[in-house]
């Protein structure tokens, strides 16, 4: 299927989704958001896809929301179209989702990267929330995910100052998993996605769910949720296959059931 704002391809069990509005630095228009959530919904229900990579290509991830589309909007219009609320479908994707970031990831582009489970950054990557320079604040998680990832004081610096941080500092802050040369960012992300896609699908789904719940729940409740998922997996064929393969010293063949 062809999309107006995305390029979509498959590499084995990995879906590669590329934001494709290069003339406006991949500005995140409502149409792009709609296509992206549609694509992720489709891959979420496709058993042969075990993980996905989201990128903006070799030069830029996404320079933010489409300002021309928002400049004269009223509060009522923003509520009615729920521009940023629609992003929740990205975070509800149940499979590993890796952002491959080159160049600018600003505003909504940075927030989109932070919605992913892992981030591979090219050495050209820049992460920031410049909304303060437009008289607004982030609306898709920038004030919430930065402190959870990099701490309160970095979050204040980024949200109040509006200046981006470079890839290496992002790595030092724990914001990204790896920094690599920009020309191999997507390739490294795909290789990582292929490794994650080879794992037991149900276990991967519940591990992702448990880690995400740890950010929302008190420790006691989080541990209870983890135990529930752990015990449930003993009802799966993959658990039997994985443990017997280990005992028999052979590679496991997971089926997702």
Catalytic residues: 65, 108, 111, 131
Distance CA 121, CA 18 (A): 15
Question: Following DSSP, what letter does each residue of the chain receive, concatenated?
Answer: ---SSEEEEEETTEEEEEE--GGGTT-B-HHHHHHHHHHHHHHHT-TT--EEEEE--SS-SB--B-HHHHTT--HHHHHHHTTTGGGHHHHT--S-EEEEE-SEEETHHHHHHHHSSEEEEETT-EEE-GGGGGT---SSSHHHHHHHHH-HHHHHHHHHH---EEHHHHHHTTS-SEEE-GGGHHHHHHHHHHHHHTS-HHHHHHHHHHHHHHTTS-HHHHHHHHHHHHHHGGGSHHHHHHHHHHHTTS-------
Both structure tokens of 147: 């402190």
Is 30:79 a contact under the CB 8 Å cutoff? no
Determine the Cα–Cα distance for residues 78 and 210; give it in Å rounded to an integer.
32
Residue 14's DSSP bridge partners are 11, 51
């Amino acid at each position: 299927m062809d999309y107006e704002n995305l390029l979509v391809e498959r590499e084995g069990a990995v879906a590669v989704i590329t934001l494709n509005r290069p003339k406006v630095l991949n500005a995140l228009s409502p149409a792009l958001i709609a296509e992206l959530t549609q694509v992720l919904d489709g891959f979420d229900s496709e058993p042969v896809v075990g993980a996905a990579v989201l990128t903006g290509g070799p030069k830029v991830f996404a320079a933010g929301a489409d300002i021309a589309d928002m400049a004269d909007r009223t509060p009522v219009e923003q509520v009615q179209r729920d521009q940023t609320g629609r992003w929740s479908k990205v975070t509800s994707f149940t499979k590993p989702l890796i952002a491959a970031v080159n160049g600018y990831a600003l505003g909504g582009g940075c927030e989109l990267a932070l919605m992913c489970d892992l981030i591979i950054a090219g050495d050209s990557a820049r992460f920031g929330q410049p909304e303060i320079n437009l008289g607004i604040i982030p609306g898709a998680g920038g004030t919430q995910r930065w402190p959870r990832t990099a701490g309160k004081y970095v979050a204040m610096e980024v949200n109040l100052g509006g200046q981006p941080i470079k890839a290496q500092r992002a790595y030092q802050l724990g914001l990204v998993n790896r920094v690599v040369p920009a020309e191999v960012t997507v390739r490294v992300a795909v290789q990582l996605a292929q490794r994650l896609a080879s794992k037991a699908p149900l276990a991967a789904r519940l591990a992702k769910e448990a880690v995400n719940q740890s950010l929302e729940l008190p420790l006691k409740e989080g541990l209870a949720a983890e135990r529930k998922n752990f015990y449930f997996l003993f009802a799966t064929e993959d658990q039997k296959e994985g443990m017997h393969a280990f005992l028999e010293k052979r590679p496991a063949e997971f089926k997702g059931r």
